Amino acid sequence: MRQLFRRVMRLAWMAVSGPGMWGGLAVYGVVLALQFLGVWISVRLIAWNKAFYDALEQMDAAGALHQIGVFGLWIAASAAAFLAGDWLRKRLLMRWRANLTRRALDLWVSGQAYWYLRPGMSPGAIDNPDQRVAEDCRLFVNRLLIETLDLITNVVALVSYVTLLWALSSFPLQLWGVGIPRYMVWAAFLYVALSSVVTHLLGRPLKSAIFTQEKREADFRHALIQLRENANAIAVAGGEPAETRRLNRLFAAVRGNWNLLIRRELVLGLFARPYFQTVLRIPTFLALPAYFAGTVTLGGLMQLASAFSNVTTTLSWFIFSYRDLAEFVAVSERLDGLFRTAAAPPLQQVPQRIARLPSDDGSLRLQGLHLHTPEGRALAPVPDIVVRPGETIWINGASGRGKSTLLAALARLWPYGEGRITAPGGLHVLPQQPRLLPEGIAASASYPEPPETYGPDRITDALRQSGLGALSQEARVEDLSGGERQRLALARVFLARPGWVVLDEATSALDPETEALVLRNLREALPDAAILCVSHRRPDALGPFRTLEIG
């Protein structure tokens, strides 16, 4: 319980703090005040019950009519307070959600947790991080606002209603000759205490069912996204039956847990539903002895009944929101898991002893470098080498020997292994399958900078140098061929003009003539850059080169 409290407080602080914190808290205060106003109006309505029913009992038509007018005013005020509070609460929801989402994105994207927390890369890889960032941030803030506002309001309301009920139920109940003073107050507490215990026992298994449901829904959604992302590969392989089987299996898991979830909800509902319906009637029955004894009038009875039911409904907040609270707990757990793991991605228990030193003469040195897979399998040793600016190195080796892993180590991403890397800053790495942005050709060519950094003329020039002179800038990135995609990514090197270029099979989809043309252009445009080239074909077009043989 204490752990849950700390977890919620940690997440709540992340949502609340940040720019405009005081403004947000002020809005929270206003929403709370509006909810208090609602409570005050309902206390007035309890008193109204007495006035109205007493007028009816005394056949006072004018008095009853007046009370109907008063009722209309109270209801209008109550609706206005509710709507204003609801609107402000929803605005605050987005403000706090934005804070939490920004923090999640900071860790997940900027902190490179998306890279480390891939399955296989880290023992703590978490499921469906995208759902946690998008969905759980929203759900958490929503529940945080609703539940805390309701909790505070209910405490205040409870004090007001209990005070009222205390004042109204001064008459005792005679049970076996013993008078129980203010029995209506005790009855309300006893009634709710017993019901809460029953609800908790029946509802306890709900939390894990909700947790599992969210995970399975996210797995299913993710599989559908994968289908879209790999549309071509699936279609040409005729993979529809396999994909359908996979989707059906994932949906069956959604469905299986859903059945469990609704069974648990039904069990809880079997108690909560009749409870909800009787809670408004029971007080009338309980107060009947006083009515028949002539201690209270009809108006007094109705006032008492409504004060009692307000006390019990307020006290029963826990019962009615059990499902929501269970969801809140499940969401906090998922979100906290994301923040904790992303802040310090756990790594495998495999040696991580790669010393990284800055280069003082602008050259790259690899000394005694041995890389491992995350499971601890040793990859082929990397020969010692010194690469100077302006040189070209062809990194060669059989498939699976660890060439891409070496480049990941050079890019400071791969932690597993030992040895020493002395490197200058600013390595520009181009992978075999580059990241292109759906926003368009210019945005993809200038990635990760925005296109404005270079301007349209330089982008057109770079596209020409990378062999895409004939490509319209209006073309859709999704329609490009594999070779065009690689050339579009190469345009980045012409634009960014880095001192160190790393090509990881970055021209593998090009025909030999185009590849030679583009590589010649590259060497011409960047005569002083060191180029490390991983490829199965010799990079003769880059000019004289040395070979680094892996394995």
Ligand X SMILES: Nc1ncnc2c1ncn2[C@@H]1O[C@H](COP(=O)(O)OP(=O)(O)OP(=O)(O)O)[C@@H](O)[C@H]1O
Q: By the criterion CB under 6 A, which residues form the site for ligand X?
A: 120-121, 373-374, 379, 397, 399-405
Q: Which is nearer to ligand X, 118 or 388 (CB)?
A: 118
Nearest to 532 by CA among 352, 486, 522, 356: 522
d(Cα 393, Cα 207) in Å, to the nearest integer?
57
d(Cα 463, Cα 399) in Å, to the nearest integer?
31
Tell me how far CA of residue 65 lies from CA of 45, 57, 79, 304, 443, in angstroms.
16, 14, 21, 22, 70
Between 240-278 and 183-203, two packed helices, what is the crossing angle to 10 degrees?
160
Q: Which is nearer to ligand X, 372 or 487 (CB)?
A: 372
Q: Minimal distance in Å, beta carbon 355 to ligand X?
A: 21
List, in order, residues 6 or more apart from 264 with CB less than 8 Å away: 203, 205, 206, 209
Q: Minimal distance in Å, beta carbon 424 to ligand X?
A: 22
Q: Which is nearer to ligand X, 117 or 144 (CB)?
A: 117
Q: Which is nearer to ligand X, 328 or 414 (CB)?
A: 414
Q: Minimal distance in Å, beta carbon 415 to ligand X?
A: 11
The 8-class DSSP code of residue 219 comes to H
Q: Which is nearer to ligand X, 97 or 372 (CB)?
A: 372
The SS3 assignment for 465 reads: helix
Q: In this structure, which long-range contacts are made by residues 63-71, counting pairs with CB atoms below 8 Å and at least 24 apart in sequence?
A: 71/45
- Which strand ranges, in their side-by-side order, compose the sheet holding 546-549? 427-430, 500-504, 530-534, 392-396, 546-549
Q: Minimal distance in Å, beta carbon 407 to ligand X?
A: 8
d(Cα 332, Cα 5) in Å, to the nearest integer?
10
Q: Which is nearer to ligand X, 203 or 402 (CB)?
A: 402
Q: Minimal distance in Å, beta carbon 351 to ligand X?
A: 15
Q: Which is nearer to ligand X, 18 or 124 (CB)?
A: 124
For residues 366 and 421, the answer to whether their CB atoms sit within 8 Å is: yes
Q: Minimal distance in Å, beta carbon 506 to ligand X?
A: 12
Q: Minimal distance in Å, beta carbon 401 to ligand X?
A: 4
Q: Minimal distance in Å, beta carbon 18 to ligand X?
A: 35
Q: Which is nearer to ligand X, 49 or 486 (CB)?
A: 486
d(Cα 417, Cα 414) in Å, to the nearest integer?
8
Q: Which is nearer to ligand X, 168 or 506 (CB)?
A: 506
Q: Which is nearer to ligand X, 103 or 485 (CB)?
A: 485
Helices marked H in 293-370: 298-315, 317-320, 322-343
**C-beta neighbour count of 312 within 10 angstroms:** 24
List, in order, residues 6 or more apart from 171 with CB less than 8 Å away: 290, 293, 295, 296
Q: Minimal distance in Å, beta carbon 110 to ligand X?
A: 21
Q: Which is nearer to ligand X, 34 or 489 (CB)?
A: 489
Six-digit token string for 143: 């529940």
d(Cα 481, Cα 479) in Å, to the nearest integer?
7
d(Cα 426, Cα 494) in Å, to the nearest integer?
15
What are the backbone dihedrals phi and psi of residue 411, each rounded to the nearest 5 degrees, phi first? -80, 10
The SS3 assignment for 428 reads: strand
Q: Minimal distance in Å, beta carbon 468 to ligand X?
A: 25
The 8-class DSSP code of residue 544 comes to S
Q: Minimal distance in Å, beta carbon 409 to ligand X?
A: 10
